[in-house]
Amino acid sequence: MVRAKNARRKRDSNYENIEAVVKLKRYSYADVKKMTNSFAHVLGKGGYGTVYKGKLPDSSGQEIALKILKDPKENGEDFINELASMSIASHVNIVSLFGFCYEGSKRAIIYEFMPNGSLDKFISEDVSTKMDCKALYNIAVGVARGLDYLHNSCVSKIVHFDIKPQNILLDEDLCPKISDFGLAKLCKKNDSIISMLDARDRWLHCS
């Protein structure tokens, strides 16, 4: 009985934390199922969960990508980190966030759909799709601008900790957008040095 009460108190605390730090539209799990047509179209799978294609449940019918996070037994720290980081970031080279779901163990992040997927499929030796040097250069510059924004111009300095081709999404014009902020760290604007031990610990946690 005591253990159940403690678990419920901890869960309620997580709910309060999310409401306090994330100013985004919150959806129910029933909404999530409706948006994805009961998870009919899988876009990809990664270390943090599965991404599905869907549409917003409003009159716009805008296409979205919806990530269902796995490991619901975790305390939600990575989930809150990602929501907090992405909700304060607004830049052409950062993926836009539309909302989230936090209903018991059900957690989802809803963001803009990127029709060209992630960068890794364009640079893999197993894929015939190739980019010319100019396109790759423009992508590299776009990613650099996104990182510069996160480090120097965002409301709070954000260190991503997990930049890789799989986390660079491309829109219809091949404009790159940084995504997947699960390991991101929010820092004070005047912090000039981030501990490399912190970076190593976060990388080990991800591995």
Active-site annotation, residues = 162
Q: Are 101 and 126 in contact (CB under 8 A)?
A: no
Q: Is 55 annotated as a binding residue?
A: no
Encoded amino acid at 65, one letter: A
User: Residue 33 burial (CB < 10 Å; 0-12/13-18/19+)?
Assistant: middle
Among candidate residues 91, 98, 101, the one with its CA nearest the CA of residue 112:
98
Residue 205 has which token pair? 């946690």
3-state SS, residue 149: helix
Annotated binding site for ATP: 67
Annotated binding site: 67
